[in-house]
Amino acid sequence: MSKKVLYTLEYPVRCSPGILYDFLRTPAGLQEWFADKVDEKDNVFSFSWNGTDEKAVLLESEEDKFVKFRWNYQTKDEYFEFRIDKSEVTNQTILIVKDFADKKEIKDQSQLWEYQVKDLFHRLGS
């Protein structure tokens, strides 16, 4: 089994960090763009897509800064993270997505994130 590697994607977004954070941290916000249905109990999020269910534990978060999850099937050192940053030059909000994938799957996984993030931006009106 090949070891997965961390990769990072960055997307400029036209909204405040507070609004973006709600879409990344709350079940209602995540359900708007990330999954068909999202529930949370005791920091465990249940995501559903077309009848397929996956669970992820919320590892840590900081309001308006970042949200870090780990899928139940991931190893202890793997996670996916949404980080909110500000460009020092333009003062624009930047969404940073960090995730793990096999090297040969990074392109496909990046395209999946691109699709998801476009849906997020559509919901944000960005």
SS3 letters for the chain?
A: CCCCEEEEEEEEECCCHHHHHHHHHCHHHHHHHCCCEEEEECCEEEEEECCEEEEEEEEEEECCCEEEEEECCCCCCCCEEEEEEECCCCCCEEEEEEEEECHHHHHHHHHHHHHHHHHHHHHHCC
The pLDDT, as a whole number, for residue 1 is: 52
The pLDDT, as a whole number, for residue 2 is: 59
Residue extents of the structural domains in the chain: 5-124
Per-residue pLDDT reduced to its tens digit, 76-122? 999 999 999 998 888 899 999 999 999 999 999 999 999 999 999 99
pTM: 0.93
> Where does the pLDDT of residue 126 fall: very low under 50, low under 70, confident under 90, or very high at 90 and above?
confident
- The arithmetic mean of pLDDT across residues 9-18, rounded, is 94
Query: Considering only CA atoms, which of 85, 68, 84, 87 is closest in space to residue 76?
Result: 68
Asked if 80 and 69 count as a contact pair (C-beta separation under 8 A), the reply is yes
The pLDDT, as a whole number, for residue 36 is: 96
CATH fit for domain 5-124, picks 3.30.230.10, 3.50.50.60, 3.30.530.20, 3.30.2320.20: 3.30.530.20
